[in-house]
Structure 1
Amino acid sequence: MDIASSAGLARGQSDGISSLYRRAGYRKAAVILWSLLVLLLVAGGVAIVGIAETGLVTLLMVILQKVSFGHFVAEVDPQQARVLVYLRLPRVVMAMVAGGLLAFAGVLMQAITRNPLVSPYTIGVSSAAAFGASIAIMFGIGFSAAGLYFVPLTAFLFALGCAVLVFSMAWLRGMGAQTMVLTGIALMYLFSAMTAAVQFVATQEQLARVVHWTFGSLNGIGWDAVAVSGAALLVALPLAQSRAWQFNALTSAGDDVSRSLGINVALLRGIAVVLSVVVSAVVISFTGVIGFVGLIGPHVARLLIGSDHRHLIPFSAICGAMLLLLADTVGRMAFSPTVIPVGIVVAFVGVPLFLHLILSRRSEYFS
């Protein structure tokens, strides 16, 4: 075989591989789009389920009225419309947005640490937020001028403060993944101990508020919380998506190979940590501590669609949104009219999945 024939054969093989790769990418994109459609359909079904009877037609009419800014007028029951607009829809949308943000934060943390068992809470963000909320509830310290929002704001600032501390210490030690995880675990225990100390001296009323906040709940969620969380998702997701190839290189080849490819690993980790912490802190400040979504969401997405972060990042957000939406629905309906906080329901689902993850893939994750 001459050189020209060999070159032609090589080009043919390369074109075949490229064609297969593109088709695989199209299939994964189709999976993401269909999953998003299913999520919206499930959200519509969940929104009409509850003690007060509402219908799908009423839901569609209310949505059309709101998105058309009143130009579309339909005859709907005012009571049903109020239930949907002020109770059901904010809760449903927040469940999707919060679940998506937590899973998004989880996939970023797992990428920069190269460890699928890491979540955004590993660096102590949740414990710091819980301590901040406890301080605000106990002593009224916070942004009192913000009225009802001083507890979320204080929790948010404590979460950011913890992340800055972890980031600074890791930076001084070379920005290694292990340094961040170990520092975060140490701070997590520290803030947990300080939260327990606050609870120890709290009154019964204060203790009940603190404990209820740490359960994680979507009760009382309004459109303001949805707007802030949705803005965080719209800003953070494209920023992370634009660096999907860099995350692929880091997770598959490690730091040294990534640097040889021209990737600033320290900068990439810094961006990922900032995005992960900010979106997690936004969710926690409004909903309280909801665990396991940032761990289980990316894991389920990785099993279904693979480890390519071009598809993994958005699909993880969809999986997290679906998980939290279904968990909140179970919490609302299982013992109706009593509502179980969604953080408790997610824990019951997340712990068995977490143990299955450890036992089924221990050779892959702990080799």
Structure 2
Amino acid sequence: MKHIFNPEAHKTYGAYIGLKKLFILILAAVTILIGIVAIASGSSKLTITQVLLSLCGRGSPKTDIIVLSIRLPRIVTAIVAGIGLSVTGCVMQSILRNPLASSSTLGVSQGAAFGAALAIIVFNAGIQKQTLDGIGFSNPYIVSICAFIGSMMSTMVILGLSKVKKTTPEVMILCGVALSSLFAGGTTLLQYFADDVKVAAVVFWTFGNLGSTSWREIIIMSVSVCLSLVYFCFNSWNYNAVQNGESTAKGLGVDVDKMRLTGMAVCSFTASVIVSYIGIINFIGLIAPHLMRRVVGSDYRFLLPASAFAGAVLLLLSDTLARLVVQPIILPIGAITSFLGAPLFMYLIFKSGKYV
């Protein structure tokens, strides 16, 4: 009588899983390496050695100011935001079973832009100064709070409709598109009645800015991203089940409706926190999961961490490019991610002949 257990198959599967884990570890190391290179890159022409000495507390006073006070917060912001946006996009694509689902397509980003415009134009958040890094607002906390409220408004409407009307994932996506248009129209009207200075401030906020965060904002973003990532990892098997259809997932004991509503709430909250502090960053949450699916597959045990590090790498590379192209001027990070993300996404579509 043959044994059901096949040692050779077990070894093959173990090696297959081991390769995925190794790839994720390599991707994490690459993220750290690119982060160090990004700190050294810029108009100050620092070397890797100088950066490492400053990070270890042995740098010169001038180097410490550049590394620890200016560039390190920006790089950490890019890593945290890249992880948060890519992971939320990855989960949204799973629970809505739509490869185009992200914070941008569900109205979260557009709601944040409307909230920021309301704070700048109606509540007179104002402009304090203009630097090479962009425009500094006299009351950035009002802008962030209003942007967060605006982004969550879209989420609450979608989740409310889902709870009351039992809408399908397709309808949720369509509601997000409609709300995006609504918020965009509201932002346009606010700009129409504003003066040139306030319009310029609104436009600058929508560009995205990784240099506007202090360590307090970075901690808030990091906590929200870490908590959401832990929640998503605990539910990775549920996301795997949903990939085979709702009926299959329900047969395996997954409460699909509850999982969808809770997942959407956590995704939208995390994306809202990020967007409220750094502005609109397009395509990171859309591109990173699609790239990683081609490498590690659709198993969310590995796709979630791989997407997280891929998002961090993409945002780090985009920010470094934005700082190096026209030194010492820093280009809008939102424009860079769009320029890089749109062709890459089109390449993925045409190469495979489908969305995923």
Could you state the TM-score of these two structures normalised by the residue count of structure 1? 0.90
Stretches of structure 2 that go unaligned for 5 or more consecutive residues are: 126-137
Whether the 8 Å CA contact 2:109–2:151 is kept in 1: the answer is yes
Match for residue 191 of structure 2 among 199, 204, 211: 199
| Aligned equivalent of 1:282 | 273
Deviations 1:107-150 (A, max 9, x none): 011001112222222110011000000000001179xxx94311
1:361 Cα deviation (Å)? 3.4
| Aligned equivalent of 1:308 | 299
| Aligned equivalent of 1:59 | 51
| Aligned equivalent of 1:69 | none
More helix by share: 1
1:193 Cα deviation (Å)? 0.5
Name segments (4+ residues, structure 1) moved above 6 Å: none
**CA–CA separation in structure 2 for the residues paired with 1:262 and 1:315:** 27
1:162 Cα deviation (Å)? 1.2
| Aligned equivalent of 2:323 | 332
1:104 Cα deviation (Å)? 0.5
**CA–CA separation in structure 2 for the residues paired with 1:18 and 1:354:** 36
Mean Cα deviation higher: 315-324 or 18-27: 18-27
What does 1:103-118 align with in structure 2 at a 5 Å threshold?
Answer: 103-118=86-101
Q: One-letter code of the match for 1:294?
A: G
Whether the 8 Å CA contact 1:125–1:160 is kept in 2: the answer is yes
1:166 Cα deviation (Å)? 0.6
1:363 Cα deviation (Å)? 4.4
Q: One-letter code of the match for 1:219?
A: G
Match for residue 284 of structure 2 among 266, 289, 293: 293
Deviations 1:189-246 (A, max 9, x none): 0001101111111111100000001111213332222211111121111110011011
**CA–CA separation in structure 2 for the residues paired with 1:284 and 1:197:** 21
Deviations 1:36-80 (A, max 9, x none): 011101110110111113333332233233xxxxxxxx3x32111
Q: 1:364/1:206 Cα in 2 relative to 1: closer, same or farther (>3 Å)?
A: closer
| Aligned equivalent of 1:128 | 111
SS in 2 for 1:123: coil
Q: 1:364/1:333 Cα in 2 relative to 1: closer, same or farther (>3 Å)?
A: closer
| Aligned equivalent of 1:101 | 84
Whether the 8 Å CA contact 1:45–1:56 is kept in 2: the answer is yes
What does 1:1-367 align with in structure 2 at a 5 Å threshold?
Answer: 5=1, 8-9=2-3, 11-13=4-6, 15-65=7-57, 74=58, 76-140=59-123, 147-251=139-243, 253-363=244-354
**CA–CA separation in structure 2 for the residues paired with 1:294 and 1:364:** 15
| Aligned equivalent of 1:68 | none
Q: 1:226/1:364 Cα in 2 relative to 1: closer, same or farther (>3 Å)?
A: closer
Number of residues paired by the alignment?
344
The CA RMSD over aligned residues, in Å, is 1.7
**CA–CA separation in structure 1 for the residues paired with 2:320 and 2:93:** 28
SS in 2 for 1:328: helix
Whether the 8 Å CA contact 2:54–2:63 is kept in 1: the answer is no
Deviations 1:303-352 (A, max 9, x none): 11111000000110111100010001001001111110110001101111
Q: 1:363/1:95 Cα in 2 relative to 1: closer, same or farther (>3 Å)?
A: closer
**CA–CA separation in structure 2 for the residues paired with 1:178 and 1:293:** 22
| Aligned equivalent of 2:135 | none
Q: 1:110/1:37 Cα in 2 relative to 1: closer, same or farther (>3 Å)?
A: same
**CA–CA separation in structure 2 for the residues paired with 1:60 and 1:101:** 26
**CA–CA separation in structure 2 for the residues paired with 1:138 and 1:363:** 42
Question: What percent identity do the matched residue pairs reach?
Answer: 32
**CA–CA separation in structure 2 for the residues paired with 1:106 and 1:180:** 15
Q: One-letter code of the match for 1:54?
A: L
Could you state the TM-score of these two structures normalised by the residue count of structure 2? 0.92
Stretches of structure 1 that go unaligned for 5 or more consecutive residues are: 66-73
**CA–CA separation in structure 2 for the residues paired with 1:113 and 1:177:** 5
